[in-house]
A and B are shown apart, each in its own frame.
Chain A
């Protein structure tokens, strides 16, 4: 007889349900089966109405984020074997986001936050294409390299109690992206982004819980990025104050 594992999957069908509920499925156990494989197996062979998101199956696209036993994780990067012998294996939609259906979250607020910080190279004057690419040294690239590894999976938002309290908070990934461009030697947009960093919804809404960095599947360390943003925001404040005191227009 093959060993099976019970997976409790959160269901929410907007047409008929008022709130989410849990449905148990039996999945044949195998050493190399990921939670995503298990969900696909359920959808293919047991209940085709189950909805969940995925694409790459290799921790690159960032679409398969779910709560697994209460922790935000990528379903494709988490394996049944890690939960062998545990009492329960429970899969829910990501915390802190509205649930669209079953395991599918509405992440549009998060995507808007990413756009807000203008995550692209801003130049005071663009050089013509004929001048070639903007160049930078490997050392200069190293300064933001880790922060550029984000795959926009949203796990850090599910991990952030400040975002859970107030969805207007720009949150870990967006503020990290701002810091990523502010640290890029080719970028000249830091002063524009500073308005967002300094805002109520910016870096100062972070209380350094730090769980975002723990759950990030790409070791981006958003908590570090945000708190470096606080240092930048402090410096910006001091410079502005100094300029105002000297009677200059504030920046």
Chain B
């Protein structure tokens, strides 16, 4: 007589193995980014309500708790970017009869691209702020 025992996935499966905990940590980096997005959107909303409202929002940003949360969001974004770029060569394999790019080069190009984009964006913002003065 067959009577297979069906194993159900437990709700706490992700707590039971260090590999799953690391995975969940990486997924959880979305949460600080959600916070950051909501904060930016609230800023935009205050902007539509006039100067006083917007200045109030800017003032709010100086709150040490919010600053700390910004730090967390930045760390989460960096962690996500670094671990993601480390995985890219596994996914983006350029190896045909005509063109071959080594995995290390694929990774380096992504790293350089990320740095260039971020520094570029930062410079652009600084330039705009400087020009607005």
Q: What are the residues of chain A within 8 A of B13 when measuring CB–CB?
A: 161, 164
Residues of chain B in range 1-52 having any CB-CB distance to chain A below 8 Å = 1-7, 9, 13-14, 16-17, 19-20, 23, 27
Decide if A211 touches B19 in the complex (CB within 8 Å).
yes
Q: Does B87 contact A (CB under 8 A)?
A: yes
Name which residue of chain B comes closest to A12, CB basis: B5
Given contacts A161-B20, A209-B20, A211-B23, contact A231 B6 (CB under 8 A): no
Q: What are the residues of chain B within 8 A of A12 when measuring CB–CB?
A: 5
Name which residue of chain A comes closest to B27, CB basis: A207
Q: Which of B2, B27, B90, B95 contacts A224 (CB 8 A)?
A: B90
Q: What are the residues of chain A within 8 A of B95 when measuring CB–CB?
A: 143
In the complex the two chains form, what is the Cα distance from A214 to B18 in whole Å? Answer: 12
Provide the A63-107 mask, 1 if CB < 8 A to any CB of B, else 0: 000000011000000000000000000000001111110000010
Q: Does A227 contact B (CB under 8 A)?
A: yes
User: Which of A13-21, A30-38, A125-133 sits within the interface?
Assistant: A13-21
Q: What are the residues of chain A within 8 A of B58 when measuring CB–CB?
A: none
Q: What are the residues of chain B within 8 A of A140 when measuring CB–CB?
A: 97
Q: Does B114 contact A (CB under 8 A)?
A: no
Name which residue of chain B comes closest to A229, CB basis: B91
Given contacts A95-B7, A98-B5, contact A230 B91 (CB under 8 A): yes
Decide if A15 touches B1 in the complex (CB within 8 Å).
yes
Q: What are the residues of chain B within 8 A of A211 when measuring CB–CB?
A: 17, 19-20, 23
Name which residue of chain B comes closest to A13, CB basis: B3
Decide if A161 touches B4 in the complex (CB within 8 Å).
no
Name which residue of chain A comes closest to B5, CB basis: A99
Of B4, B9, B19, B20, chain A has the most CB atoms within 10 Å of the CB of B4
Decide if B91 touches A19 in the complex (CB within 8 Å).
no
Decide if A228 touches B93 in the complex (CB within 8 Å).
yes
Q: Does A189 contact B (CB under 8 A)?
A: no
Decide if A221 touches B90 in the complex (CB within 8 Å).
yes
Q: Which residues of A contact B (CB under 8 A)?
A: 12, 14-15, 17, 19-20, 70-71, 95-100, 106, 139-140, 143, 159, 161, 164-165, 207-211, 214, 221, 223-224, 227-228, 230-231
What are 8 A-B residue pairs whose CB atoms fall within 8 Å in the complex? Answer: A17-B5, A70-B17, A96-B9, A98-B7, A99-B7, A209-B23, A210-B19, A211-B23
19 additional A-B residue pairs with CB within 8 Å, beyond A221-B90, A230-B91: A14-B1, A15-B1, A17-B5, A20-B5, A71-B17, A98-B4, A98-B5, A98-B6, A100-B2, A106-B4, A140-B97, A143-B95, A161-B14, A209-B20, A209-B23, A211-B23, A224-B91, A227-B87, A231-B92
